[in-house]
Structure 1
Amino acid sequence: MIGLLSLLAGATGLVPPPPPILISPPDPSQSTDTPAPQLVSWIPGPVRCETGAEAPVVEGRRPYNTLWNGRGSPPSAMAFEFAIDPTGRPLSIVRTSPPAYAQGTAGPALASSRYEVGAAREGCSITYQPVMRPADKAEPVELASYVMTNQTPRLPKEAYDRLHAGDECRPGTQPLMRAFPNFDDIPATPGVRDWAMIGFDVAASGETVNVRHLYGTGNDALAKASEEAVENSRFTEGPLRRNCSYPYWRNAAVLPAPPAPPRAPGWTDLCEALEWNREPQRIFPEAYLARSIEGWADIAYDVATWGEVGNVRVLRAEPTDDFGEAAKRMIERSSAQKNTGFTNCETRVFYRMQGSGAPEPASVNS
C-alpha cells in the first residue's frame, strides 16, 4: 500500500513546489526484455553396459528438438538405464534423471534405437545432453526437424525466416499442381516418423528445376520419391524463383511391444469378477502414440469393500516405464462397486495400435 504524503503550506499560504522527480538509470542486470527462445537439441552419449564396454550403435534415434522460452530452470540432461536383448533392442527402459514423471520424447527415442546384435546385455545406461542455441540462429536442419515432428509451441517468426532464408517462392508463388509420392510404396520405419525436405527453383514457365534433397531422416526411398514428386509439380508463371522448399513425410510403422511373459502355471485373476463403478480408461502415452510404439504393463492393486482402489504398483513394464506409469494412473483413477474386498489383484494392460494409427479401445487384460 502506498502511503499518502501530506504537504503543509507555510505561514504565507504558499504551497511549496513539488520535489523534483528522480529517474534512476536502468540496471542492466534487471532487464525486462523477453528472453530469446532457445532451440534445444538432445545429443546422445555413449551406451555402456555392466561390463563397462561401449555398445555399438546401429540406429541411434535422438529425442525430438524442443523449444525453451528462457524462463525458469534450463533443460537438464536426461539419463536412462535399460537392457539390450540379443537382437539389439533396448528393453526395460527406466528414466533415472529427471524423475519418471518428467514426460518427454527421450524414452520413445531410446525404445526405437537399435544396437549391435549379439549376446543380451544388462545394466546399460545412456545420457542425452541438451545443446541450446537461439532459435533464430539455429541450423536450418534442426529447425526443420522441430517443425516436421509437430512440436509446440510454434517457432518464432525469426526462426521461420532463417529456415526459409532466400526462399523466393514465399512472397506469393502458388502451386497449380502439387504432386505427391505413392506413400504405400515407401517402406515406413518402425517407431520413426520419416521426412524429407526438398529444395528446388521455379522457372519462368512454372516448371521446377534444380530439384535436390536438402535434409531429412535418412529414408532414401522417401527422399527419391519426394524429389520425383517435386519434379512433376507445377507453379504459377513468373520470374525465376530460387531456393524454394517443400517437405514430405511418412508416418511411423508400428513398433510392436516386446512379448509379455506367460502367466505362471495355475495363475488366476483374483479380481476377474470385479464390477467397476468407474471403469479404467486407458490413455495411450502421447509421445509413444506419435511414434506408433506399443507397450504393456503388469499392475497390482487392492480394492476396499466400499470400492476404493489403492496400493497400486507397477510390477513390470515394456519397453519403458512410461507405460507402467500410464497404466498405474489408469487404475488409480478407477473405482469398483461394493464387494467383499480384494488384495493383490493383478492386471495386464496392453497399449496397441491398429488401422491407420488410432489406438485400440480401452481395455485391460487384453
Structure 2
Amino acid sequence: MRVRIGPTGRPEQQLLRWMASPVLCSGGGAGVTAQQVVRAPDPQVGLAWDIASQRRTMTLDFRIDATGRPLSIVRRTPAENAYVPDAQDVVPAFAASRFAPGPERTGCTVTFTANLTPIAAAPLADVMAYTVFPTSGRAKAIADRLRMPGDDCADPEPAVLLRAFPDFKRLPDQPGYPSWSMVGYDIDRSGKPTRLRALAGSGTPALDVAARKAVAASRFERGARAGCLYFYYKRGTILPPPPAPEEDALRPAAATCPRDHVWDRKPVLTYPSGYSRRSIEGWAIVAYDVAPWGQTGNVRILQAEPTAEFGDAATAMIRNATFRAGGGGYVGCIDRVLYRIRRPGTPTAESAPD
C-alpha cells in the first residue's frame, strides 16, 4: 500500500473530487449516442488519503426518461458489493442530475473517477466547496489555502454585531441538491463590509445575489479587516420518485402469502445513506418467502427507483423481520416500501409492510 508523502515528510490528505465521463446510451435504435447534460452531477468534495491500492472508479448503468431524469440507476462493479472509498455521495448526486429532454433512452452508462489533488494545489472553488460541506473535519491545510497574502480577517475574527440572512423561501427550489454561495469581502474602520465579491458557489445566480446583499447588510465591530469570507447555503428541496406500481401488479399467481402480514419482529425502516441529505425520495418492490418458523428468505428486489440503493435498504429491512410462527410458511410475499421525507432534512420512511 502506498500513501502520498507531503513536503513535511508526513502523509498528507488530498482534496477529492469525483469526475464524470461522457454519458453514453445505446437504446433507441440509433446506436451509441452521447447525452447532453443540463444539470451536471455534483458529488460532495472530500478529503482522502492517496492510497494506490484503492480502486477509485465507479460505473453506473441507468435509463433516462422523457424529462431527462436518470432512473433505474445501478452500480456496476467487478464484485457485487465491492467497496469504493469516499464514494458515498456519487450515486445520490447522479440521481439529482438532469439531461436534455426527449425520447426515453436506455442502456446508458457513466463512469466516475476520483481526482485527488494536494490541497495547496487544488482549485480554490473546490476548497471552498469542501469548507461549506466538510466530510471529515477541516484540516489546517484547508484554512491555509483559503488565506491570501495580506488577509487578516481571522487574526482574530471580528465580533459580529449583526448577521443578515437571505430570505431562503424566496429563492428557487433545487430538488435533490443543496445550493451555496461563498462571498469575499473586506471591512472598513466602521465595521461595514466593503468590496463584496462572489468567489465560488453552486452556480445559483439568485443565491449569489442574495448572499452578497446579506453580507452587505451585516455589521461588525470597528476596525478595518481584509480577506473575510462567509457562505450561505440552501438545502435541496424534495425530489420525488416516479410513481410506484401496486403490489398486486407484481404478485405471482401461485402466491400463498396473505396480503395482511402478521409480524412477530416488525420491519424497521432506515433511509438509504446519502439520500436524506439531498432530500431524494424513492421506493422499492421486494419479494420474499417465509419459513414455517417465521423467518423471511429468498429476499429479492423486483423494482426500485430512482436507484437500486433503495432496494438494497428494503431487502435488508425484510431480512431482519420475521412473521409470527405457526402459519405453515408462505411463498410469493410482495411488499412495496415508500421512502418519503416530511420536510427537507428530516427523513422518514412511510408505507412500511404491516
Compute the TM-score of the two structures, normalised by the length of structure 2: 0.88
Question: Structure 1 residues 265 and 161, CA, compared in 2 at 3 Å: closer, same or farther?
Answer: closer
Shift, 1:75, TM fit:
4.5
Give the match's secondary structure for 1:282.
Answer: coil
Work out whether residues 78 and 98 of structure 1, in 8 Å CA contact, stay in contact via their aligned partners in 2. no
How far the C-alpha of 1:34 sits from its partner, in A, is 3.9
CA 1:269/1:69 → structure 2, altered by over 3 Å: closer, same or farther? Answer: farther
What is the match of residue 105 of structure 1?
89
Give the structure with higher Rg (CA).
Answer: 1
SS of the residue 1:244 aligns to: strand
How many residue pairs match? The answer is 334
Partners in 2 of 1:44 and 1:61 — Cα distance? 8
Q: What are the ranges of 5 or more consecutive residues in structure 2 without an aligned counterpart?
A: none
Which residue is 1:157 aligned to?
140
For 1:266 and 1:309, the matched residues in 2 are separated by 19
Q: Deviation digits for residues 192-216 of structure 1, max 9, x if unmatched?
A: 1101001100001100000111110
CA drift at 1:110: 1.3
Q: Tell me which residue corresponds to 2:291.
A: 304
Question: Per-residue deviation at 1:333?
Answer: 1.3
The residue type paired with residue 259 of structure 1 is: P
1:137 is displaced (CA, Å) by 3.0
Q: 2:18 aligns with which of 32, 36, 42?
A: 42
Aligned to 1:19: none
| 1:244 lines up with 2:220 in the alignment | no
Once the 2 structures are TM-superposed, how far is the Cα of residue 177 of structure 1 from its aligned partner? 0.7
When residues 360 and 317 of structure 1 are mapped into structure 2, their CA distance, relative to the original with a 3 A threshold, is same
**2:34 partner amino acid:** E
Aligned to 2:319: 332
Residue in 2 aligned with 1:13? none
Aligned residue for 1:80? 60
Distance 2:250 2:79 in 1: 37
Question: Are 1:358 and 2:346 matched, yes or no?
Answer: yes
> Partner of 1:352: helix, strand, or coil?
strand
Q: What runs of 5+ residues in structure 1 fail to find an aligned partner?
A: 1-28
Offset, 1:353? 0.7
Matched, 1:317 2:304: yes
Most deviating of 208-217 and 66-75? 66-75
C-alpha contact (below 8 Å) 2:176/2:238 kept by paired residues: yes
CA shift for structure 1 position 287: 0.6
Aligned 8 A contact 2:267 2:320 in 1: yes
Give the structure 1 partner of residue 275 of structure 2.
288
- Residue of structure 2 in register with 1:232 after alignment: 217
Quote the Cα distance in structure 2 between the aligned partners of 1:269 and 1:259. Answer: 27
User: What's the CA shift string for 1:37-74, capped at 9, x where partnerless?
Assistant: 01111111101111211011111112112221245733
Q: Given residue 201 of structure 2, which amino acid in structure 1 is its aligned partner? A: G
Match for 1:95 among 75, 80, 95?
75
Check the 8 A contact 2:181/2:233 in 1, yes or no: yes
- The residue identity in structure 1 corresponding to 2:74 is V
For the Cα contact (< 8 Å) 1:68–1:74, is it kept in 2? no
Q: Match for residue 174 of structure 2?
A: 189
- How many angstroms apart in 1 are the aligned matches of 2:196 and 2:328? 71
Question: 2:63·2:107 contact (CA, 8 Å) conserved in 1?
Answer: yes
Relative to structure 1, the CA distance from residue 99 to residue 143 in structure 2 (aligned partners, 3 Å threshold; closer, same or farther) is farther
SS of 2:24 mapped into structure 1: coil
Partner Cα distance (2:169, 2:275) in 1: 22
Deviations 1:12-35 (A, max 9, x none): xxxxxxxxxxxxxxxxx9xx9542
The offset of 1:310, in angstroms, is 1.0
Deviation at 1:93, TM superposition (A): 0.5
Q: What SS is found at the alignment partner of 2:315?
A: helix
Aligned residues: CA RMSD:
2.2
Instruction: Tell me the residue number matched to 1:139.
Output: 123
Q: Partner of 1:254: helix, strand, or coil?
A: coil
Q: For the Cα contact (< 8 Å) 2:178–2:235, is it kept in 1?
A: yes
Moved more, 132-141 or 81-90: 132-141
SS in 2 for 1:330: helix
Quote the offset at 1:100 in angstroms.
5.9
